[in-house]
Amino acid sequence: TKLILLDSLLQEMSTVLLLGATGETGKELLKILAASPSINKIVTLGRRTTELDVPEGKEKVEQRVVDFENLDSHSADFRNIDKGFCCLGTTRAKSGKEGFVKVDFDYVVQGAKQLKAEGCEEFHLVSSQGSKASSWFLYLSTKGKAEDAVRELNFNRYSIYRPGLLICERSERRLGEQVMQWLARKRDWSHGWSIPTSILARGVFLNSEKCKDGVTVMEHADIVRLAADSSTE
């Protein structure tokens, strides 16, 4: 009986893959995934291994090194995954126009394609508030095009998250963003247009635990509300 119960429990637990685990949102999501009893393994893909800031469940994390320019040669790293999470992202200021598009579109879409090809049927994409393929702004247009390209892969369950300004402590300086974050911390107490990456990560995880079939779009307010509701339970 104990063996049957153990087997049943293991079947209910998920193996997940996280793209962008070293980014500010990715780091917060990794902590939550590792601490969750419903997750038995987290695979992260990166250019190199890093020191993990994971207080609980670090033994469940498996770091794999890949060449993002040739993700199709790493098909084995995308196998046996129940859920895929993508927090990849950079900025034009940091990486230039081509570098930004490469990370926020090419890597995102190629990673999703590899997961789909290897049998994964659930994908969670952290995008941006205002994302739209037809936008005149490169950032929003690229985010929207990535959303649409992943949608065309027809995952059984696909969730898109569109947060506003991210509040976090970045390792690199972004002066304009620092000013906006300062204003948000002073004025946006209810998170009407900004959101700490810890709250964003909690919203992503909570939605993934009850993900419905089809496409789910979580706008900024939806993410904040879901995370807030969970904290009062």
**Residue 108: helix, strand or coil by DSSP?**
helix
Residue 181: CB partners within 8 Å, gap ≥ 6? Answer: 165, 167, 168, 194
Q: Is 143 a catalytic residue?
A: yes
CA-nearest of 226, 160, 170 to 199 is 226
Q: Is 161 a catalytic residue?
A: no
Dump strand ranges (E) for 163-212: 165-167, 194-196
Cβ burial of 229 (10 Å; 0-12, 13-18, 19+) is exposed
CB 44 within 8 A of CB 63: yes
Q: Count Cα neighbours of 162 within 13 Å in the Cβ-side half-sphere.
A: 17
Catalytic: which of 31, 83, 143, 145?
Answer: 143
Catalytic: which of 58, 113, 132, 139?
Answer: 139
CA-nearest of 212, 74, 222 to 155 is 212
Q: Among all residues, which ones are annotated catalytic?
A: 139, 143
